[in-house]
Amino acid sequence: MNSRAHQVAVFEVIKETVDAVTLVLDVPQAVREKFTYSPGQFLTLRIPSDQDCRDGSVARCYSLSSSPHTDDRPAVTVKRTAGGYASNWICDNVAVDTVLTVLEPSGSFVPRSLDADVLLCAAGSGITPVVSIAKSVLTAGSGDVALFYANRDRDSVIFAGVLGDLAARFPGRLTVAEWLEEEHGLPGSADIAALVRPFADRDAYICGPTGFTAAAHAALAQLDVPLSRIRNEEYRSLEISPFDGPEASVTPPGAGRSAAPGAHTATIEFEGETYDIDWPKNVPLLDVLLAKGLDVPYVCRESACGTCVCSVRSGRTRMLLNESLIDDELDRGLTLACQTVPETDGVHIAFDQD
Assess whether pLDDT exceeds 80 at residue 257. Answer: no
Name the helix (H) or strand (E) containing 267.
strand 263-270
Question: Of residues 257 and 83, which shows the higher confidence score?
Answer: 83
Sorted by where each begins, the domain ranges of the chain are 5-103, 118-233, 263-350
Q: Which residues contact 320 (CB under 8 A, 6 or more apart)?
A: 284, 303, 339, 340, 341
Q: What is the pTM of this model?
A: 0.85
Q: Which residues contact 117 (CB under 8 A, 6 or more apart)?
A: 143, 144, 145, 146, 199, 202, 203
Q: What does the pLDDT look like over 44-82, one tens digit per residue? A: 999 987 655 455 788 899 999 999 999 999 999 999 988
pLDDT grade for 154, boundaries at 50, 70 and 90:
very high
- The pLDDT, as a whole number, for residue 3 is 83
- The pLDDT, as a whole number, for residue 156 is 96
Q: What does the pLDDT look like over 232-241, one tens digit per residue? A: 997 766 777 7
pLDDT grade for 328, boundaries at 50, 70 and 90:
confident
Burial 169-199 (b: 16+ CB within 10 A, else e): eeeebbbebebbeeeeeebebebbbebbeeb
Assess whether pLDDT exceeds 90 at residue 9. Answer: yes
Q: How far apart are CA 283 and CA 321, in angstroms?
A: 13
- The pLDDT, as a whole number, for residue 293 is 86
- Beta 20-26 vs 75-79: how paired, if at all? antiparallel
- The pLDDT, as a whole number, for residue 139 is 98
Assess whether pLDDT exceeds 50 at residue 250. Answer: no
Q: Residues 13-30: what's their mean pLDDT? A: 97
Which own/partner pairs from 191-197 qualify as long-range (CB within 8 Å, at least 24 positions apart)?
191/219, 192/121, 192/148, 192/216, 192/219, 193/219, 193/220, 193/222, 193/223, 195/148, 196/119, 196/121, 196/146, 196/148, 196/220, 196/223, 197/223
* Average pLDDT over all residues of the chain: 90
The superfamily CATH assigns to domain 263-350 is Beta-grasp domain (3.10.20.30)
Q: Residues 14-21: what's their mean pLDDT? A: 97
118-233 has which fold?
Rossmann fold (3.40.50)
Q: How far apart are CA 71 and CA 52, in angstroms?
A: 37
Q: What does the pLDDT look like over 102-143, one tens digit per residue? A: 999 999 899 999 999 999 999 999 999 999 999 999 999 999
Q: Residues 304-309: what's their mean pLDDT? A: 88
Contact 35, 24 (CB under 8 A): no
The superfamily CATH assigns to domain 5-103 is Translation factors (2.40.30.10)
Q: Name the DSSP letter for residue 183.
A: H
- The pLDDT, as a whole number, for residue 244 is 67
Assess whether pLDDT exceeds 90 at residue 213. Answer: yes
Q: Residues 1-21: what's their mean pLDDT? A: 93
3-state secondary structure 272-330: CEEEEEEEECCCCHHHHHHHCCCCCCCCCCCCCCCCCEEEEEECCEEECCCCCCCHHHH
